[in-house]
Amino acid sequence: MFSGIVQGYTQLVNIKKKNKYLTYVFKFKEDQVKNLNLGNSISHNGCCLTVSNINKNFISFDIISETLNFTNLKFLKIGEYTNFERASKFNDEIGGHIVSGHIMTMVKIKKVINDEKEYAIWVTVLNSKVMQFILHKGFICLDGMSLTIAKIKKNDFCVHIIPETLRLTTIGSKKKDDFLNLEVDYFTQIVITTISRFKKQKNL
């Protein structure tokens, strides 16, 4: 479980091809992987990955085709960076919202607004079925970042980015037509899915 409060970014330094999966090796700062153990979870661009090998501050993760199919990790090249967050612990402060690290779909950046008034990003949701969970002022997780939905228009929505998020994450380097991973709020999913099923059962 994660909070959607990105702790920094880490660089992909190697990709090892195996028969049924890929192994991505990321270089962290030493203090970022303190007390890290095999089997621990770290979110990369909002995607929960399991630590498969530790070599000082070089950390490996095995990635199966299912993960690559649904996330932007498949576009990642050696030398590029991902947002990361260590898994939450009991008694941790949850500054964002509860995030599972299970990506539902991707969004494509439609427009980046960067002026004196705001830094905002408009995105298009690739899977239109997910739009039922996109609510005005609702929680959303993009590339691991807990954000609030500001505006919605058909299959598009807008989020505003604060300076601290720009400083700690990769979002400031993103441009039009780039892809971001999307996870909608779990509790929103439960409520809307439950109501939808109830209506179908009652033929409402």
Q: State whether 75 and 144 are in the same domain.
A: no
Give the end of a domain, one of 55, 86, 117: 86
Q: What is the pLDDT of residue 127?
A: 94
C-alpha closest to that of 64 among 23, 102, 26 = 23
Q: State whether 130 and 64 are in the same domain.
A: no
Residue 108 has pLDDT above 80, yes or no: yes
| Domain assignment present for 16 | yes
How many structural domains are present in the chain?
2
Q: State whether 134 and 62 are in the same domain.
A: no
The CATH number given to whatever domain includes residue 177 is: 2.40.30.20
Q: What is the pLDDT of residue 194?
A: 87
Q: What is the pLDDT of residue 189?
A: 79
The CA angle 40-108-2, to the nearest 5 degrees, is 25
| Domain assignment present for 75 | yes
| Domain assignment present for 198 | no
Contacts of 202 (CB under 8 A, 6+ apart): none
| Domain assignment present for 93 | no
Greater pLDDT, 86 or 200? 86
pLDDT tens track for 42-66: 999 999 999 999 999 999 999 999 9
Residue 97 has pLDDT above 90, yes or no: no
Residue 204 has pLDDT above 70, yes or no: no
- Write down the number of H helices and E strands in the chain: 3, 12
Residue 185 has pLDDT above 80, yes or no: yes
Contacts of 111 (CB under 8 A, 6+ apart): 121, 122, 176
Structural domain harbouring 46: 8-86
Residue 82 has pLDDT above 90, yes or no: yes
**Least confident residue range of 3-17, 118-132, 137-151, 183-197:** 183-197
| Domain assignment present for 59 | yes
